[in-house]
Structure 1
Amino acid sequence: MGRRQIIGLILGPSLFSILYFFPAITGLDDAPRAVLAVTAWVATWWITEAMPIPATSLMPIFLLPLTGGAEEETATMAYTDPIVFMYFGGFTIALAIEKWNLHKRIAMTIISMVGTNSKRIILGVALATALLSMWISNAATALMMLPIALALIADIKEKDFFDDASFHKFAKGLLLTVAYAASIGGLATLIGSVPNAVFAGVSAQILDVRITFADWFLFGFPITVILLTVLYFYMTGWKFKVKQTGNISDDFAKNQIRELGPMSFEEKAVLTIFALTGTLWISSGFLPENIRLSDTTISMVGATAMFLLPSKNAKGGLMKWDDMKNLPWGLLLLFGGGLSLAAAFEESNLTDWFGELLQGLQVLPFILILIVLAAIVLFMTEIMSNTAVSNMLIPISIGLALGIGVEPYGIMAIVALASSCAFMLPISTPPNAAVFSSDYLTIDDMVKAGFWMNIISILVIVMFVYFWQPLVLSP
């Protein structure tokens, strides 16, 4: 174990003991004090990874009932929340896309369509990465796109389209585009990024309001479009502007598509299920109320269809149960742990305590509170897991909203969005870590490029939450 884990291992139960056994510190009744103490322990171990995050996520199941923070049924039912099964279905569909190599065909088709100069290659990679990241985890998307980006870099280096300085700028810009577009694309959908799902789950648990896939898409997709546009011009027109000495051939993408061969029956079947599922997710919010088609139902129908439809080139269906060993089961447990704590917040009325604690902030302008909160969350995420940050802060943000007398969705959305937009360090997000593994980037490159993307992201997120969220994402 490293120093960070050892410190966390000791600090977690220490904070629990102080908060739980010394009531005078908080002045809380027994149940909310127990929930606060359990949250402090679990959050500390999430942040420091003193124990594997999925294993830590199981602790609310026994700590909440043992301490009197919540009933056992409350603590355990959160692990079967509909949002967990919506993600389960989404992950299954994503595995099918990866299994039959559909992601590579989609990416190469976009790159081949966009164009043949350095700017258009970066645009094509950004679009392909963001599109995949809307439906597949940003970590998986970055790992899928990294070999494609490295192959493009090698191909361009071999054909000598740039001088040395411009080539290195292009390589750095392309790799950082993969990392940043993977994070930005995930903002658009509920299944694209973990904090989005935490937002929806906490809304259902504490506020008793279901946020549908269509609700979030209408809110998040324009943010993705704006940030992608900014990313493209930032990379190609300012930070990594290059001099090109010749026209780059689009043969690379076309050759890759040619190597994939004609589209197989399995690819067509997976694409059909994927397209139908996505269409239903986006349009279900506009269907008549008597049609009970929830996002979870749609997700599970799509996932089940992958096992039901037969494969022509392999025995069994498009997906076999053996394929599910690659499903991120630990992430589902993480959702459950966060939702279990959120349910305990509601049952014990701990949220009201946070509201009273934070009432002094109501003297500040609301937009200033949003800016400060977005900056705090984003820079916390530079050194902490965004899943830990969102699980810890989204329930607390409801208390902040109560304290300053505003509806909670804007504050919650700030936390969810800002915790997905850390661009400065390799440890900040899995996509950052993935591209940093190449030989073309240094920490200095990432810090300098990421700092300004952080600032831009804070401003864009705050503006959208302040002006757009009340129109499209309110009860």
Structure 2
Amino acid sequence: MAGYWITECFPMAVTSLIPVVLFPAFGVLSTADVCGCYVNDTIMVFIGGLVLAIAIEHSNLHLRIALGVMKTVGCTHGKLLGGLCAVTAFISMWVSNTAATAMMVPIIFAVLNELEQAGYCRVYDELPVPPGSLDPPEKRPTRITTAYLLAAAYCSTFGGTGTLVGTGTNLTFKGIFESIFPHSEGINFTQWMIASLPQMIVNTFLTWFYLRVAYMGYLRPRSKDAEVAEIGVEGEMVTNQVIEQRYKELGGIKFHEAAVAGLFLFCIFLWLFRKPGFVTGWAEVITDIDLRDSVPVIFVSIMMFFIPKDFNFLRTWSKDPAKRPFKSSEGLITWDVIQRKMPWSLMFLLGGGFAISRGSMASGLAKKIGETLVPLRYLPPFFIMLIVCFFIGTITEFTSNVGIANITLPVIAQMVKYYSNKTPLFDTLSPICWYTSYFVIQCVAMEMHPMYLMVPATISCSFSFRLPVGTPPNAIISVIGNIPTQSLMMGGCIPSIYGLVVNCINFVTWGMFIHNIKEFPAWATSDYTPPT
């Protein structure tokens, strides 16, 4: 399946259905167990989150947010780039990075085209045509355009790591973790958000700073980049007019937008206070049954169909027959819109990953692979984290982020889980290594919380910056902006480095404190029996 995902010889959704056939046929898992992987809490959270994202786009709320923030921050290239980074990262926290990038790219070109018409910048450079060629000159984005497009792609990637619903890899981790460690408390939306926000904010700021220095001549006042990036007072006025005009075209805030925004904030409130830890959550008040994040988002999604997007139905009793509506009011979202815009194949991809995770555990494959990682036990935990994150950050450039999370996270979890069982490792490892019994005892004693490696590894799965195939935002800007792969690779090297460093440092300082993983949990051992 990993080979099929990487080469895409089959559609990814079709590849994801292979476990439904092979696992029962080879006695790995029952049909009921396999099919249960394709419909669970994580899948429902993903569906509900996409319904919210589609509703926001359907109501044009995303444009109002983006243009409003840009109108507020100012219109020099530095300020516009900062506003773009902030807005993109914020939107990507709640919708997919693909949707966030697709929302911002048209706004970027609208502003740049107006500046070009006024003579303050160029959007594209035309490459020279060979003598005698009848082909039109090829266009390449200028460094200014490249900076804006890279900002949209990179910040949508960083923003997606800020919440559980921001990217599919986070939801994949949630499903795999709760499947492998069923007696744990699960992954809490509030804890994840609080723990991940610092690294998201720092990485977004570093992206803004890096792009200004590398492409706009910041700190290099005599460079050519600095001269091109200088708009001047008149350029600021033109940009302000573009944004003001686009914002006026939206008109006043409609009930459709206000209702979607209200339900969106209501869903966030329900997520944050479901079981926050510092106060009694609403879920703990209403029931003793395990109630997870899918309940609030599906409830809000249903309300999207229940609440009308306008009040035309109130004219049903109008004395003037011409004012009476001739059909029922539409909801805030319609099923036709969802059918057209919902990426259904990604749900099968998530489910296939969960099936691989459960199958690798049931068959013992993850345990065998985890045993081969014994040499890493020589190193301090922080260096193990760096190596794992660097490895995943490199591999994810060549394949699907969700796919690499499905493949690697079960192995990482099993590596930690295996060595915590206090089983006689010497007999198990003797055919493949000649470690002394003393070192084996030290390995067993070095207990590591499963989240210590799994959380940073999950975030690293999203850090694809160098290749178009690494993540959809890269593909979007590469195709729409006509950015050469070589330029994309050169631009993405620095974010890959500081993203790795910030991710690891944030987790060993702030993340460990929020997730409370100072001590090894009893539920991580395979022989753990929960108290009755």
TM-score, length of structure 2 as denominator length: 0.78
**Among 92, 97, 121, the residue aligned to 1:133:** 92
**Partner of 2:325 in structure 1?**
none
- Does residue 1:362 correspond to 2:370, yes or no? no
**How do 1:222-261 residues align onto structure 2 when only pairs under 5 Å count?**
222-241=198-217, 242-243=226-227, 244-247=230-233, 248-249=236-237, 250-261=240-251
**Partner of 1:373 in structure 2?**
388
In structure 1, what residue type is equivalent to 2:38? Answer: Y
**Partner of 1:338 in structure 2?**
353
Render the CA deviation track for 1:120-176: whole Å, top value 9, x for unaligned: 100111111111111111111111111111111111222233589999332111111
- Looking at structure 1, the residues matched to 146 and 460 of structure 2 have their Cα atoms a distance apart, in angstroms, of 24
Alpha carbons 2:114, 2:242 under 8 Å: kept: yes
**Partner of 1:262 in structure 2?**
252
- Does residue 1:215 correspond to 2:191, yes or no? yes
Shift of 1:110: 1.0
Shift of 1:181: 0.7
- Does residue 1:188 correspond to 2:166, yes or no? no
Identity %: 28
Bigger CA radius of gyration: 2
**Partner of 2:109 in structure 1?**
150
- Does residue 1:179 correspond to 2:153, yes or no? yes
- The alpha-carbon distance between structure 1 residues 434 and 163, as it changes in their structure 2 partners (threshold 3 A), is closer
In structure 2, what residue type is equivalent to 1:275? Answer: L
**How do 1:8-407 residues align onto structure 2 when only pairs under 5 Å count?**
42-162=1-121, 168-208=142-182, 209=184, 210-241=186-217, 242-243=226-227, 244-247=230-233, 248-249=236-237, 250-286=240-276, 287-288=280-281, 289-292=284-287, 294-312=292-310, 315-325=329-339, 326-402=341-417, 403=419, 405-407=447-449
Render the CA deviation track for 1:323-356: whole Å, top value 9, x for unaligned: 2212111111111111122223333444433332
Alpha carbons 2:309, 2:332 under 8 Å: kept: yes
Question: Secondary structure of the residue that 2:309 maps to in structure 1?
Answer: coil
- Looking at structure 2, the residues matched to 85 and 321 of structure 1 have their Cα atoms a distance apart, in angstroms, of 16
- The alpha-carbon distance between structure 1 residues 202 and 439, as it changes in their structure 2 partners (threshold 3 A), is closer
Question: Secondary structure of the residue that 2:38 maps to in structure 1?
Answer: helix
Render the CA deviation track for 1:337-378: whole Å, top value 9, x for unaligned: 111222233334444333322222201222222212211111
Question: Secondary structure of the residue that 1:319 maps to in structure 2?
Answer: coil
Shift of 1:264: 1.0
**Partner of 2:324 in structure 1?**
none
Alpha carbons 2:405, 2:461 under 8 Å: kept: yes
- Looking at structure 2, the residues matched to 221 and 124 of structure 1 have their Cα atoms a distance apart, in angstroms, of 18
Shift of 1:200: 0.5
- Higher percent of residues as helix: 1
- Does residue 1:414 correspond to 2:448, yes or no? no
- Looking at structure 2, the residues matched to 112 and 155 of structure 1 have their Cα atoms a distance apart, in angstroms, of 15
- The alpha-carbon distance between structure 1 residues 124 and 158, as it changes in their structure 2 partners (threshold 3 A), is same
- The alpha-carbon distance between structure 1 residues 255 and 58, as it changes in their structure 2 partners (threshold 3 A), is same
- Looking at structure 2, the residues matched to 164 and 344 of structure 1 have their Cα atoms a distance apart, in angstroms, of 50
- Looking at structure 2, the residues matched to 165 and 296 of structure 1 have their Cα atoms a distance apart, in angstroms, of 45
Alpha carbons 1:74, 1:344 under 8 Å: kept: no
**Partner of 1:26 in structure 2?**
none
Structure 2 segments unaligned to the other structure (5+ residues): 126-140, 218-225, 313-327, 420-442, 522-532
* Backbone CA RMSD of aligned residues: 2.1
- Looking at structure 1, the residues matched to 243 and 452 of structure 2 have their Cα atoms a distance apart, in angstroms, of 42
- The alpha-carbon distance between structure 1 residues 369 and 416, as it changes in their structure 2 partners (threshold 3 A), is same
**Partner of 1:3 in structure 2?**
none
**Partner of 2:485 in structure 1?**
443
Shift of 1:434: 0.8
Render the CA deviation track for 1:223-271: whole Å, top value 9, x for unaligned: 1101001111111134432331413132222211100111111111111
Which stretch of the first structure deviates more once superposed, 257-266 or 463-472? 463-472
- Looking at structure 1, the residues matched to 169 and 122 of structure 2 have their Cα atoms a distance apart, in angstroms, of 42
Render the CA deviation track for 1:85-128: whole Å, top value 9, x for unaligned: 01111111111111111111111111111112110100111111
- The alpha-carbon distance between structure 1 residues 338 and 164, as it changes in their structure 2 partners (threshold 3 A), is closer
Shift of 1:440: 5.9
Question: Secondary structure of the residue that 2:232 maps to in structure 1?
Answer: coil
**Partner of 2:321 in structure 1?**
none
Moved over 6 A (4+): 163-167
In structure 2, what residue type is equivalent to 1:135? Answer: W
Alpha carbons 2:413, 2:450 under 8 Å: kept: yes
Which stretch of the first structure deviates more once superposed, 371-380 or 85-94? 371-380
